[in-house]
Amino acid sequence: MTRKFQYSVFPDDSVFAARCLNIEIASDGASEAAAVANLHEALEFDPGSSEFILNSVTTADT
């Protein structure tokens, strides 16, 4: 079964942070795209998230 996760991206000091709104997982990166890619990678390590789709809820103004 494919799970759908929502996430938010926002600036945090000198990086962007991507936070999953459904479960307690977050990551960061030098750009919004890097933060989302790192969040995607972090979700791959979550045992309950073997198949998932990420849907953006909000993103920071850049």
SS3 per-residue string spanning the chain:
CCEEEEEEEEEECCEEEEEECCCCCEEEECCHHHHHHHHHHHHHCCCCCCCEEEEEEECCCC
d(CA 17, CA 9): 6
List the chain domain ranges: 3-58
Which one is the CATH code of 3-58: 3.30.450, 3.40.1350, 3.30.2390, 3.40.720?
Answer: 3.30.2390
Half-sphere exposure of 35 (CA within 13 A, CB side): 24
What pLDDT, on a 0 to 100 scale, did the predictor assign at position 40? 92
Half-sphere exposure of 18 (CA within 13 A, CB side): 24
Q: Using one digit for the tens of pLDDT, what is the confidence trace for 3-62?
A: 889 999 999 999 999 999 999 999 999 999 999 999 999 988 877 666 787 778 865 554
What pLDDT, on a 0 to 100 scale, did the predictor assign at position 34? 97
What pLDDT, on a 0 to 100 scale, did the predictor assign at position 16? 97
